[in-house]
Structure 1
Amino acid sequence: MHIAQPSSDEGSATGRFRTRNDDLFVRRRELQERLAALRAEVDAGTADTRTELALRRAEREFEDLTHEIVIVNYGLVRRYASMFTSKSTEHREDFESAGKVGLMWAISSYDPARGPFSSWAFKPIQREVLRAVRDADHPNLNLGDFEKRPVILEAERAFLEEAGPDAPTDHADIARRAGVTEAQVRRVLDPPGLDSLQAPPKGQGEGVVPWEERLADPSRALEDEVLLRLSLRAVTDRGLPSLDAREQYVLTRRFGLDGEPEQSLRGIGEQLGLSREGVRQIQQKALAKLDHTIADAV
Protein backbone atom coordinates (compact mmCIF):
# COMPACT_ATOMS: atom_id res chain seq x y z
CA MET A 1 0.00 0.00 0.00
CA HIS A 2 1.40 3.35 -1.04
CA ILE A 3 1.24 6.20 1.49
CA ALA A 4 1.56 9.69 0.10
CA GLN A 5 4.54 11.59 1.46
CA PRO A 6 5.14 15.33 1.39
CA SER A 7 6.91 16.30 -1.81
CA SER A 8 10.54 17.28 -1.65
CA ASP A 9 9.56 20.69 -3.05
CA GLU A 10 7.12 21.29 -0.15
CA GLY A 11 9.68 20.19 2.40
CA SER A 12 12.41 22.34 0.91
CA ALA A 13 10.03 25.36 0.75
CA THR A 14 9.23 24.95 4.45
CA GLY A 15 12.92 24.62 5.23
CA ARG A 16 13.78 27.74 3.22
CA PHE A 17 11.00 29.69 4.98
CA ARG A 18 12.24 28.72 8.42
CA THR A 19 15.86 29.40 7.50
CA ARG A 20 14.95 32.87 6.21
CA ASN A 21 12.99 33.60 9.36
CA ASP A 22 15.87 32.44 11.54
CA ASP A 23 18.29 34.67 9.63
CA LEU A 24 15.97 37.67 9.95
CA PHE A 25 15.59 37.23 13.70
CA VAL A 26 19.36 36.80 14.14
CA ARG A 27 19.84 40.12 12.35
CA ARG A 28 17.10 41.66 14.50
CA ARG A 29 18.77 40.52 17.71
CA GLU A 30 22.12 41.92 16.54
CA LEU A 31 20.48 45.25 15.68
CA GLN A 32 18.79 45.38 19.09
CA GLU A 33 22.15 44.94 20.78
CA ARG A 34 23.73 47.63 18.59
CA LEU A 35 20.85 50.01 19.26
CA ALA A 36 21.09 49.42 23.02
CA ALA A 37 24.80 50.28 22.96
CA LEU A 38 24.31 53.41 20.85
CA ARG A 39 21.38 54.65 22.96
CA ALA A 40 23.36 54.10 26.16
CA GLU A 41 26.15 56.23 24.75
CA VAL A 42 23.75 58.98 23.70
CA ASP A 43 21.94 58.92 27.07
CA ALA A 44 25.26 59.19 28.88
CA GLY A 45 26.05 62.38 26.97
CA THR A 46 29.29 61.02 25.53
CA ALA A 47 28.08 60.57 21.94
CA ASP A 48 29.44 62.67 19.09
CA THR A 49 27.70 63.54 15.83
CA ARG A 50 28.91 60.35 14.18
CA THR A 51 27.37 58.22 16.94
CA GLU A 52 24.04 60.05 16.70
CA LEU A 53 23.98 59.49 12.93
CA ALA A 54 24.79 55.83 13.47
CA LEU A 55 21.91 55.58 15.94
CA ARG A 56 19.42 57.06 13.44
CA ARG A 57 20.66 54.73 10.70
CA ALA A 58 20.35 51.73 13.02
CA GLU A 59 16.81 52.75 14.00
CA ARG A 60 15.77 52.99 10.34
CA GLU A 61 17.43 49.66 9.61
CA PHE A 62 15.60 48.10 12.56
CA GLU A 63 12.24 49.43 11.34
CA ASP A 64 12.91 48.17 7.80
CA LEU A 65 13.94 44.76 9.09
CA THR A 66 10.82 44.47 11.28
CA HIS A 67 8.68 45.40 8.26
CA GLU A 68 10.41 42.69 6.23
CA ILE A 69 9.67 40.12 8.96
CA VAL A 70 6.00 41.17 8.92
CA ILE A 71 5.81 40.72 5.14
CA VAL A 72 7.51 37.32 5.27
CA ASN A 73 5.14 36.07 7.99
CA TYR A 74 1.90 37.77 6.95
CA GLY A 75 0.70 34.47 5.53
CA LEU A 76 0.42 33.26 9.14
CA VAL A 77 -2.09 36.05 9.82
CA ARG A 78 -4.22 35.10 6.81
CA ARG A 79 -4.04 31.39 7.64
CA TYR A 80 -4.92 31.77 11.32
CA ALA A 81 -7.65 34.35 10.60
CA SER A 82 -9.29 31.90 8.19
CA MET A 83 -9.20 29.22 10.90
CA PHE A 84 -11.17 31.30 13.41
CA THR A 85 -13.56 33.20 11.13
CA SER A 86 -15.97 32.70 8.25
CA LYS A 87 -14.33 33.14 4.86
CA SER A 88 -17.29 35.18 3.62
CA THR A 89 -17.40 37.58 6.56
CA GLU A 90 -17.66 41.29 5.85
CA HIS A 91 -15.17 41.98 8.63
CA ARG A 92 -12.28 40.06 7.05
CA GLU A 93 -10.12 43.19 6.81
CA ASP A 94 -10.64 43.98 10.50
CA PHE A 95 -9.84 40.41 11.53
CA GLU A 96 -6.60 40.39 9.56
CA SER A 97 -5.69 43.82 10.96
CA ALA A 98 -6.20 42.42 14.45
CA GLY A 99 -4.08 39.40 13.54
CA LYS A 100 -1.33 41.78 12.46
CA VAL A 101 -1.34 43.29 15.96
CA GLY A 102 -0.80 39.78 17.34
CA LEU A 103 1.97 39.21 14.79
CA MET A 104 3.75 42.39 15.91
CA TRP A 105 3.52 41.27 19.54
CA ALA A 106 4.94 37.87 18.57
CA ILE A 107 7.83 39.48 16.69
CA SER A 108 8.76 41.71 19.62
CA SER A 109 8.66 38.84 22.16
CA TYR A 110 10.02 35.93 20.09
CA ASP A 111 12.88 33.87 21.48
CA PRO A 112 14.36 31.54 18.80
CA ALA A 113 15.25 29.06 21.54
CA ARG A 114 11.52 28.34 22.02
CA GLY A 115 11.07 26.78 18.58
CA PRO A 116 9.74 27.88 15.16
CA PHE A 117 8.33 31.39 14.94
CA SER A 118 5.10 30.11 13.34
CA SER A 119 4.33 28.13 16.51
CA TRP A 120 5.24 31.05 18.76
CA ALA A 121 3.01 33.44 16.79
CA PHE A 122 -0.07 31.22 16.90
CA LYS A 123 -1.35 32.26 20.36
CA PRO A 124 -0.97 36.05 20.06
CA ILE A 125 -2.51 36.07 16.58
CA GLN A 126 -5.35 33.84 17.77
CA ARG A 127 -5.96 36.08 20.80
CA GLU A 128 -6.24 39.27 18.74
CA VAL A 129 -8.33 37.70 15.97
CA LEU A 130 -10.80 36.25 18.46
CA ARG A 131 -11.03 39.60 20.22
CA ALA A 132 -11.90 41.22 16.88
CA VAL A 133 -14.48 38.51 16.13
CA ARG A 134 -16.05 39.14 19.52
CA ASP A 135 -16.20 42.91 18.89
CA ALA A 136 -17.76 42.45 15.45
CA ASP A 137 -20.12 39.51 15.93
CA HIS A 138 -20.79 39.36 19.69
CA PRO A 139 -20.22 42.88 21.07
CA ASN A 140 -22.56 42.23 24.00
CA LEU A 141 -20.29 39.52 25.45
CA ASN A 142 -17.23 40.28 27.54
CA LEU A 143 -14.03 38.57 26.42
CA GLY A 144 -14.11 35.93 29.17
CA ASP A 145 -17.65 34.86 28.25
CA PHE A 146 -16.80 34.88 24.55
CA GLU A 147 -13.86 32.53 25.11
CA LYS A 148 -16.19 30.13 26.95
CA ARG A 149 -18.93 30.41 24.32
CA PRO A 150 -17.88 27.35 22.22
CA VAL A 151 -17.84 24.98 25.22
CA ILE A 152 -21.15 26.39 26.51
CA LEU A 153 -22.83 25.91 23.13
CA GLU A 154 -21.46 22.36 22.95
CA ALA A 155 -22.83 21.66 26.44
CA GLU A 156 -26.20 23.08 25.39
CA ARG A 157 -26.30 20.75 22.37
CA ALA A 158 -25.48 17.76 24.59
CA PHE A 159 -28.22 18.79 27.04
CA LEU A 160 -30.82 19.09 24.28
CA GLU A 161 -29.85 15.72 22.82
CA GLU A 162 -30.60 14.09 26.17
CA ALA A 163 -33.57 16.20 27.31
CA GLY A 164 -35.17 16.78 23.92
CA PRO A 165 -35.32 19.89 21.71
CA ASP A 166 -38.43 21.23 23.46
CA ALA A 167 -37.10 20.89 27.00
CA PRO A 168 -36.79 24.12 28.99
CA THR A 169 -33.21 25.32 29.27
CA ASP A 170 -31.52 24.09 32.44
CA HIS A 171 -28.76 26.64 32.97
CA ALA A 172 -27.36 24.80 35.99
CA ASP A 173 -27.05 21.52 34.06
CA ILE A 174 -25.37 23.22 31.11
CA ALA A 175 -22.99 25.05 33.45
CA ARG A 176 -22.01 21.73 35.06
CA ARG A 177 -21.34 20.13 31.68
CA ALA A 178 -19.30 23.11 30.45
CA GLY A 179 -17.39 23.65 33.69
CA VAL A 180 -18.45 27.29 33.94
CA THR A 181 -20.72 29.33 36.18
CA GLU A 182 -24.47 29.46 35.72
CA ALA A 183 -24.20 33.23 35.29
CA GLN A 184 -21.85 32.73 32.34
CA VAL A 185 -24.30 30.32 30.74
CA ARG A 186 -27.11 32.86 31.06
CA ARG A 187 -25.00 35.65 29.58
CA VAL A 188 -23.97 33.54 26.60
CA LEU A 189 -27.34 31.92 25.85
CA ASP A 190 -29.40 35.03 26.65
CA PRO A 191 -26.99 37.89 25.94
CA PRO A 192 -28.11 41.37 26.99
CA GLY A 193 -28.92 43.72 24.15
CA LEU A 194 -26.98 46.91 23.58
CA ASP A 195 -29.31 49.90 23.57
CA SER A 196 -29.03 52.54 20.89
CA LEU A 197 -26.65 55.36 21.73
CA GLN A 198 -29.43 57.79 20.80
CA ALA A 199 -31.72 56.36 23.49
CA PRO A 200 -31.77 58.01 26.95
CA PRO A 201 -30.05 56.20 29.84
CA LYS A 202 -32.17 53.56 31.54
CA GLY A 203 -34.55 54.95 34.13
CA GLN A 204 -34.40 58.48 32.75
CA GLY A 205 -36.79 60.45 30.56
CA GLU A 206 -36.69 61.16 26.87
CA GLY A 207 -35.24 64.62 27.40
CA VAL A 208 -31.87 63.32 28.59
CA VAL A 209 -29.03 63.96 26.11
CA PRO A 210 -27.29 60.73 24.96
CA TRP A 211 -23.71 60.11 26.07
CA GLU A 212 -22.30 60.54 22.58
CA GLU A 213 -23.69 64.07 22.34
CA ARG A 214 -22.72 64.99 25.91
CA LEU A 215 -19.07 64.17 25.36
CA ALA A 216 -18.80 65.76 21.94
CA ASP A 217 -20.79 69.02 22.49
CA PRO A 218 -18.46 71.89 21.40
CA SER A 219 -20.44 74.79 22.93
CA ARG A 220 -21.77 74.84 26.49
CA ALA A 221 -23.39 77.31 28.87
CA LEU A 222 -22.18 77.51 32.48
CA GLU A 223 -24.85 75.11 33.71
CA ASP A 224 -24.00 72.70 30.91
CA GLU A 225 -20.31 73.01 31.77
CA VAL A 226 -21.01 72.00 35.38
CA LEU A 227 -23.12 69.04 34.29
CA LEU A 228 -20.48 68.00 31.78
CA ARG A 229 -17.74 68.11 34.43
CA LEU A 230 -19.87 65.91 36.68
CA SER A 231 -20.44 63.58 33.76
CA LEU A 232 -16.76 63.40 32.90
CA ARG A 233 -15.87 62.81 36.56
CA ALA A 234 -18.33 59.93 36.62
CA VAL A 235 -16.85 58.62 33.36
CA THR A 236 -13.33 58.76 34.78
CA ASP A 237 -14.09 57.42 38.26
CA ARG A 238 -16.79 54.84 37.55
CA GLY A 239 -17.16 54.34 33.81
CA LEU A 240 -13.67 53.88 32.39
CA PRO A 241 -12.65 51.15 34.90
CA SER A 242 -15.53 49.05 33.55
CA LEU A 243 -14.01 49.06 30.05
CA ASP A 244 -11.17 46.94 28.71
CA ALA A 245 -7.88 48.59 27.70
CA ARG A 246 -8.76 48.99 24.03
CA GLU A 247 -12.18 50.52 24.77
CA GLN A 248 -10.58 52.99 27.20
CA TYR A 249 -7.98 53.93 24.58
CA VAL A 250 -10.60 54.53 21.87
CA LEU A 251 -12.83 56.74 24.06
CA THR A 252 -9.88 58.66 25.47
CA ARG A 253 -8.51 59.41 22.01
CA ARG A 254 -11.93 59.96 20.41
CA PHE A 255 -13.23 62.51 22.94
CA GLY A 256 -9.95 63.91 24.31
CA LEU A 257 -10.62 62.68 27.85
CA ASP A 258 -6.93 63.13 28.70
CA GLY A 259 -6.90 66.77 27.58
CA GLU A 260 -5.38 66.00 24.18
CA PRO A 261 -7.15 66.97 20.91
CA GLU A 262 -9.99 64.69 19.80
CA GLN A 263 -9.09 62.24 17.04
CA SER A 264 -11.09 60.84 14.14
CA LEU A 265 -12.15 57.21 13.87
CA ARG A 266 -9.81 56.76 10.93
CA GLY A 267 -6.87 58.24 12.81
CA ILE A 268 -7.44 55.95 15.79
CA GLY A 269 -7.84 53.01 13.42
CA GLU A 270 -4.43 53.69 11.90
CA GLN A 271 -2.89 53.60 15.38
CA LEU A 272 -4.60 50.31 16.29
CA GLY A 273 -4.34 48.64 12.90
CA LEU A 274 -8.14 48.59 12.47
CA SER A 275 -10.55 49.97 9.91
CA ARG A 276 -12.71 53.03 10.63
CA GLU A 277 -15.74 50.73 11.04
CA GLY A 278 -13.87 48.53 13.50
CA VAL A 279 -13.06 51.52 15.71
CA ARG A 280 -16.65 52.78 15.44
CA GLN A 281 -17.93 49.45 16.75
CA ILE A 282 -15.53 49.56 19.69
CA GLN A 283 -16.67 53.13 20.43
CA GLN A 284 -20.34 52.15 20.25
CA LYS A 285 -19.89 49.23 22.60
CA ALA A 286 -17.83 51.30 25.07
CA LEU A 287 -20.41 54.12 25.14
CA ALA A 288 -23.18 51.59 25.70
CA LYS A 289 -21.24 50.19 28.66
CA LEU A 290 -20.86 53.70 30.11
CA ASP A 291 -24.59 54.27 29.71
CA HIS A 292 -25.37 51.22 31.83
CA THR A 293 -22.59 51.78 34.37
CA ILE A 294 -22.99 55.43 35.31
CA ALA A 295 -26.53 56.42 34.36
CA ASP A 296 -27.37 56.91 38.03
CA ALA A 297 -24.17 58.80 38.83
CA VAL A 298 -25.00 61.94 36.86
Structure 2
Amino acid sequence: MEYALKTYFKEIRTFPLLTSKDEVELNKKIRKGDEKARKRMIQSNLRLVINIAKRYIHFGIPLLDLIEEGNLGLMKAVDKFDHKRGFRFSTYAAWWIKQGITRSISDQGKLIRMPVYMNELVSKWKKTKEMMAQKLKHIPSDEDIAKKLKVSKSQMEQVNFWLTSQTSSLEAPIGEDDDSQVADLVQDETSASPDIVIKHLLDKEKVDNLLELMTEREREVLDMRFGLADGKTHTLAEVAKKLGVSRERIRQIEEEALKKLRKFVEQQEKELYR
Protein backbone atom coordinates (compact mmCIF):
# COMPACT_ATOMS: atom_id res chain seq x y z
CA MET A 1 0.00 0.00 0.00
CA GLU A 2 2.78 2.42 0.95
CA TYR A 3 4.64 1.62 -2.28
CA ALA A 4 1.48 2.20 -4.30
CA LEU A 5 0.99 5.59 -2.67
CA LYS A 6 4.59 6.65 -3.28
CA THR A 7 4.34 5.59 -6.91
CA TYR A 8 1.08 7.47 -7.36
CA PHE A 9 2.41 10.63 -5.68
CA LYS A 10 5.52 10.53 -7.86
CA GLU A 11 3.43 10.15 -11.00
CA ILE A 12 1.06 13.05 -10.37
CA ARG A 13 3.93 15.42 -9.60
CA THR A 14 4.75 15.28 -13.30
CA PHE A 15 1.48 17.00 -14.16
CA PRO A 16 1.91 20.80 -14.15
CA LEU A 17 -0.56 23.00 -12.30
CA LEU A 18 -2.81 25.21 -14.40
CA THR A 19 -3.05 28.97 -14.54
CA SER A 20 -6.41 30.70 -14.60
CA LYS A 21 -5.96 31.23 -18.34
CA ASP A 22 -5.20 27.53 -18.84
CA GLU A 23 -8.41 26.59 -17.02
CA VAL A 24 -10.50 28.85 -19.24
CA GLU A 25 -9.02 27.48 -22.45
CA LEU A 26 -9.36 23.87 -21.33
CA ASN A 27 -12.92 24.42 -20.13
CA LYS A 28 -13.90 25.81 -23.53
CA LYS A 29 -12.51 22.70 -25.21
CA ILE A 30 -14.09 20.35 -22.67
CA ARG A 31 -17.52 21.85 -23.28
CA LYS A 32 -17.02 21.02 -26.95
CA GLY A 33 -16.24 17.40 -26.13
CA ASP A 34 -12.44 17.48 -26.22
CA GLU A 35 -11.32 14.40 -24.24
CA LYS A 36 -7.64 15.39 -24.23
CA ALA A 37 -8.51 18.70 -22.57
CA ARG A 38 -10.67 16.87 -20.02
CA LYS A 39 -7.83 14.48 -19.21
CA ARG A 40 -5.37 17.34 -18.73
CA MET A 41 -7.76 19.22 -16.44
CA ILE A 42 -8.19 16.12 -14.30
CA GLN A 43 -4.49 15.25 -14.14
CA SER A 44 -3.46 18.78 -13.22
CA ASN A 45 -5.81 18.77 -10.23
CA LEU A 46 -5.02 15.35 -8.76
CA ARG A 47 -2.82 17.00 -6.13
CA LEU A 48 -5.84 18.93 -4.90
CA VAL A 49 -7.64 15.62 -4.30
CA ILE A 50 -4.73 14.32 -2.23
CA ASN A 51 -4.57 17.47 -0.10
CA ILE A 52 -8.27 17.17 0.67
CA ALA A 53 -8.28 13.38 1.15
CA LYS A 54 -5.53 13.61 3.78
CA ARG A 55 -7.94 15.53 6.01
CA TYR A 56 -10.15 12.44 6.36
CA ILE A 57 -7.62 9.71 7.19
CA HIS A 58 -8.86 9.62 10.80
CA PHE A 59 -12.03 7.74 9.84
CA GLY A 60 -10.62 4.29 9.22
CA ILE A 61 -10.60 4.27 5.42
CA PRO A 62 -7.31 3.76 3.51
CA LEU A 63 -5.95 6.93 1.95
CA LEU A 64 -5.95 5.36 -1.52
CA ASP A 65 -9.67 4.66 -1.21
CA LEU A 66 -10.33 8.23 -0.13
CA ILE A 67 -8.29 9.49 -3.07
CA GLU A 68 -10.25 7.27 -5.45
CA GLU A 69 -13.56 8.69 -4.21
CA GLY A 70 -12.15 12.20 -4.38
CA ASN A 71 -11.03 11.62 -7.96
CA LEU A 72 -14.59 10.68 -8.90
CA GLY A 73 -15.73 13.97 -7.42
CA LEU A 74 -13.02 15.77 -9.38
CA MET A 75 -14.22 14.22 -12.62
CA LYS A 76 -17.75 15.34 -11.92
CA ALA A 77 -16.48 18.86 -11.23
CA VAL A 78 -14.57 18.91 -14.53
CA ASP A 79 -17.73 17.95 -16.40
CA LYS A 80 -19.90 20.54 -14.64
CA PHE A 81 -17.49 23.48 -14.40
CA ASP A 82 -18.27 26.66 -16.33
CA HIS A 83 -15.49 29.26 -16.46
CA LYS A 84 -18.02 31.97 -17.35
CA ARG A 85 -19.08 32.08 -13.72
CA GLY A 86 -15.79 33.81 -13.04
CA PHE A 87 -14.09 31.73 -10.34
CA ARG A 88 -11.14 29.34 -10.24
CA PHE A 89 -11.71 25.66 -10.87
CA SER A 90 -10.08 24.63 -7.59
CA THR A 91 -12.72 26.53 -5.60
CA TYR A 92 -15.51 24.73 -7.44
CA ALA A 93 -13.89 21.30 -7.51
CA ALA A 94 -13.09 21.22 -3.79
CA TRP A 95 -16.75 20.86 -2.91
CA TRP A 96 -17.33 17.96 -5.30
CA ILE A 97 -14.20 16.24 -4.00
CA LYS A 98 -15.28 16.64 -0.36
CA GLN A 99 -18.76 15.41 -1.21
CA GLY A 100 -17.40 12.23 -2.80
CA ILE A 101 -15.13 11.49 0.14
CA THR A 102 -17.65 12.17 2.91
CA ARG A 103 -20.33 10.18 1.10
CA SER A 104 -17.93 7.23 0.90
CA ILE A 105 -17.23 7.42 4.63
CA SER A 106 -20.95 7.47 5.33
CA ASP A 107 -21.68 4.56 2.96
CA GLN A 108 -19.05 2.40 4.63
CA GLY A 109 -20.68 2.80 8.00
CA LYS A 110 -18.01 5.01 9.53
CA LEU A 111 -20.50 7.80 9.97
CA ILE A 112 -23.35 6.63 12.20
CA ARG A 113 -23.82 9.47 14.62
CA MET A 114 -21.63 12.15 16.07
CA PRO A 115 -19.98 11.13 19.36
CA VAL A 116 -21.02 13.22 22.37
CA TYR A 117 -17.52 14.62 22.90
CA MET A 118 -17.31 15.64 19.24
CA ASN A 119 -20.72 17.28 19.34
CA GLU A 120 -19.47 19.44 22.21
CA LEU A 121 -16.27 20.32 20.35
CA VAL A 122 -18.13 21.19 17.14
CA SER A 123 -20.50 23.43 19.09
CA LYS A 124 -17.57 25.14 20.82
CA TRP A 125 -15.80 25.50 17.45
CA LYS A 126 -18.77 27.29 15.88
CA LYS A 127 -19.13 29.69 18.79
CA THR A 128 -15.40 30.45 18.85
CA LYS A 129 -15.32 31.03 15.10
CA GLU A 130 -18.22 33.48 15.32
CA MET A 131 -16.66 35.30 18.28
CA MET A 132 -13.26 35.60 16.58
CA ALA A 133 -14.82 36.72 13.31
CA GLN A 134 -16.72 39.52 15.01
CA LYS A 135 -13.61 40.64 16.86
CA LEU A 136 -11.18 40.37 13.92
CA LYS A 137 -13.66 41.60 11.28
CA HIS A 138 -12.72 38.70 9.02
CA ILE A 139 -13.18 34.93 8.95
CA PRO A 140 -10.46 33.25 11.07
CA SER A 141 -8.54 30.32 9.61
CA ASP A 142 -9.07 26.81 10.94
CA GLU A 143 -5.56 26.91 12.38
CA ASP A 144 -6.32 30.09 14.33
CA ILE A 145 -9.49 28.57 15.77
CA ALA A 146 -7.66 25.36 16.70
CA LYS A 147 -4.96 27.38 18.44
CA LYS A 148 -7.57 29.34 20.37
CA LEU A 149 -9.29 26.14 21.51
CA LYS A 150 -5.97 24.32 22.05
CA VAL A 151 -6.97 21.33 19.93
CA SER A 152 -4.71 19.13 17.81
CA LYS A 153 -4.57 19.08 14.02
CA SER A 154 -6.27 15.69 14.09
CA GLN A 155 -9.17 17.07 16.11
CA MET A 156 -9.36 20.07 13.79
CA GLU A 157 -9.75 17.82 10.76
CA GLN A 158 -12.42 15.75 12.50
CA VAL A 159 -14.36 18.90 13.33
CA ASN A 160 -14.17 19.93 9.68
CA PHE A 161 -15.47 16.53 8.64
CA TRP A 162 -18.51 16.75 10.88
CA LEU A 163 -19.19 20.31 9.78
CA THR A 164 -18.97 19.23 6.14
CA SER A 165 -21.26 16.24 6.69
CA GLN A 166 -23.92 18.50 8.20
CA THR A 167 -24.05 20.98 5.33
CA SER A 168 -25.95 20.99 2.07
CA SER A 169 -24.34 19.46 -0.99
CA LEU A 170 -23.88 21.08 -4.36
CA GLU A 171 -26.88 19.15 -5.60
CA ALA A 172 -29.20 20.28 -2.82
CA PRO A 173 -32.31 21.91 -4.32
CA ILE A 174 -32.97 25.56 -3.57
CA GLY A 175 -36.37 27.18 -3.56
CA GLU A 176 -39.51 25.47 -4.75
CA ASP A 177 -38.07 24.39 -8.08
CA ASP A 178 -36.35 21.03 -7.57
CA ASP A 179 -34.36 21.58 -10.77
CA SER A 180 -32.57 24.56 -9.25
CA GLN A 181 -29.42 23.66 -7.35
CA VAL A 182 -27.01 25.56 -5.15
CA ALA A 183 -24.21 25.13 -7.67
CA ASP A 184 -26.35 26.42 -10.52
CA LEU A 185 -26.90 29.97 -9.31
CA VAL A 186 -26.37 32.18 -12.34
CA GLN A 187 -26.84 35.82 -13.21
CA ASP A 188 -29.94 36.85 -15.15
CA GLU A 189 -32.03 39.90 -15.83
CA THR A 190 -34.92 39.15 -13.49
CA SER A 191 -33.16 38.01 -10.34
CA ALA A 192 -30.10 39.15 -8.46
CA SER A 193 -26.94 39.92 -10.39
CA PRO A 194 -24.66 38.94 -7.53
CA ASP A 195 -21.14 39.29 -8.86
CA ILE A 196 -19.28 35.99 -8.93
CA VAL A 197 -18.99 35.95 -5.16
CA ILE A 198 -22.34 34.43 -4.25
CA LYS A 199 -21.67 31.48 -6.51
CA HIS A 200 -18.66 30.51 -4.42
CA LEU A 201 -20.80 30.04 -1.35
CA LEU A 202 -21.78 26.45 -1.97
CA ASP A 203 -21.86 25.54 1.69
CA LYS A 204 -24.97 26.81 3.46
CA GLU A 205 -23.38 26.71 6.91
CA LYS A 206 -20.62 29.02 5.72
CA VAL A 207 -23.26 31.36 4.31
CA ASP A 208 -24.98 31.41 7.69
CA ASN A 209 -21.71 32.12 9.49
CA LEU A 210 -20.88 34.95 7.14
CA LEU A 211 -24.28 36.52 7.54
CA GLU A 212 -23.58 36.76 11.26
CA LEU A 213 -20.76 39.20 10.45
CA MET A 214 -23.10 41.60 8.71
CA THR A 215 -25.50 44.22 9.91
CA GLU A 216 -29.14 43.29 10.24
CA ARG A 217 -29.98 45.36 7.16
CA GLU A 218 -27.24 43.72 5.08
CA ARG A 219 -28.49 40.27 6.07
CA GLU A 220 -32.03 41.24 5.22
CA VAL A 221 -31.03 42.53 1.79
CA LEU A 222 -28.97 39.44 0.90
CA ASP A 223 -31.68 37.11 2.19
CA MET A 224 -34.20 38.68 -0.18
CA ARG A 225 -31.89 39.32 -3.11
CA PHE A 226 -30.40 35.82 -3.27
CA GLY A 227 -33.05 33.73 -1.52
CA LEU A 228 -30.63 32.53 1.15
CA ALA A 229 -33.40 31.91 3.65
CA ASP A 230 -36.20 30.47 1.55
CA GLY A 231 -34.81 30.13 -1.98
CA LYS A 232 -36.95 32.97 -3.36
CA THR A 233 -35.00 35.78 -5.04
CA HIS A 234 -36.20 39.37 -5.44
CA THR A 235 -35.27 42.25 -7.72
CA LEU A 236 -33.77 45.52 -6.48
CA ALA A 237 -37.14 47.21 -6.95
CA GLU A 238 -38.96 44.57 -4.90
CA VAL A 239 -36.48 44.76 -2.03
CA ALA A 240 -36.51 48.57 -2.09
CA LYS A 241 -40.29 48.66 -1.92
CA LYS A 242 -40.43 46.19 0.96
CA LEU A 243 -37.80 48.06 3.00
CA GLY A 244 -39.05 51.52 2.11
CA VAL A 245 -35.82 52.84 0.58
CA SER A 246 -34.55 53.59 -2.92
CA ARG A 247 -33.20 51.00 -5.35
CA GLU A 248 -29.85 52.79 -5.25
CA ARG A 249 -29.69 52.41 -1.47
CA ILE A 250 -30.37 48.66 -1.76
CA ARG A 251 -27.64 48.40 -4.38
CA GLN A 252 -25.18 50.13 -2.04
CA ILE A 253 -26.05 47.86 0.89
CA GLU A 254 -25.69 44.80 -1.32
CA GLU A 255 -22.31 45.98 -2.59
CA GLU A 256 -20.96 46.42 0.94
CA ALA A 257 -22.19 42.98 1.96
CA LEU A 258 -20.63 41.36 -1.10
CA LYS A 259 -17.27 42.89 -0.25
CA LYS A 260 -17.33 40.90 2.98
CA LEU A 261 -18.23 37.74 1.10
CA ARG A 262 -15.48 38.36 -1.44
CA LYS A 263 -12.82 38.37 1.29
CA PHE A 264 -14.06 34.99 2.46
CA VAL A 265 -13.86 33.51 -1.04
CA GLU A 266 -10.30 34.74 -1.50
CA GLN A 267 -9.33 33.12 1.80
CA GLN A 268 -10.91 29.82 0.78
CA GLU A 269 -8.99 29.74 -2.50
CA LYS A 270 -5.69 30.36 -0.71
CA GLU A 271 -6.32 27.50 1.73
CA LEU A 272 -7.22 24.85 -0.85
CA TYR A 273 -3.62 23.87 -1.64
CA ARG A 274 -2.21 24.32 1.87
Which of the five TM-score ranges fits, normalised by the shorter chain? 0.3 to 0.5
TM-score by length of 2: 0.34
| Structure label with greater radius of gyration | 1
Larger RCO of the pair (alpha carbons < 8 Å, separation 6+): 2
